[in-house]
Amino acid sequence: MPTPEIQNTEEFKSEFIKLYALYERVKPIGLYAEVVSGKVILDSINEYRYAFDHLMRSISGETDMFSMFRKAQDHLYRAGYDAYEIISLIKLESIKGCLASHSPQIISQVCPAYYPEYHGKIKKIERDLTTARTHKTDVDQGTHEFDLYEASIQELIQIEETLMTLVPEFNRAKKWHNKNMIKVPAAIVIFGCLFAFFLNYIFPNFALKPAQGKQSINAEKANSPVKDSIKNKQK
């Protein structure tokens, strides 16, 4: 049975306030993960259940209160990790999908900060997340990497939201680029035709076909004064 004496101690109140503050910090993360993923995060729900179980056992008087609070805290942290794991995967995929069909030239044109700033940050965030996943919790020492994990994913969310607002600009720039890619070859063809026309106008003999040129040269030789002189001498 629960013991009112434990609940009324300053130690219990202090531990409960800290646990409640952590719950208030983790709860919106889980709700946001469900919104962006469109599904219930069962791993996080299980962690909430385990945390609640340890909280109830902390006031039973049958187990060490501080140990139960610490275990409840560990489960709340894990619920946050699980939710952030979902968020990070979705946001990274969203960023890749947003940029996949655009060339570096278009990306730099529409978002000048991407390569000098965002690209490096995303790579660093991926490394930080890998580190945080590897050292999620150290139950024996009661330490966590949650602050690093939280900071990295909050920054990732901001980058993704910034890029998503630029999607219409990316599409317009791509459309403009594709139209110009079509216009350039057409302009080359037109310029070539005009150049050939003026060349033919200024130097008409350049435009003669090989066969016609040969016939013209033969005709000139046939009517040559030198050839006529030779013929007269032979007579």
In tens, the pLDDT along 88-124 reads 999 999 999 989 888 899 999 999 999 999 999 999 8
Residue 137 CA from chain centroid, whole number: 29
pLDDT tens digits for 66-92? 889 989 998 999 898 889 889 999 999
Alpha helices (H) along the chain: 4-7, 10-37, 42-58, 65-99, 104-110, 119-134, 146-165, 167-202, 210-222, 225-234
Quick one: pLDDT at residue 145?
73
Question: Is the pTM higher than 0.85?
Answer: no
* Contacts with 153 (C-beta within 8 Å, 6 or more apart), sequence order: 84, 87, 88, 91, 125, 129
State the number of CA atoms in the 13 A half-sphere of 120 facing the CB: 4
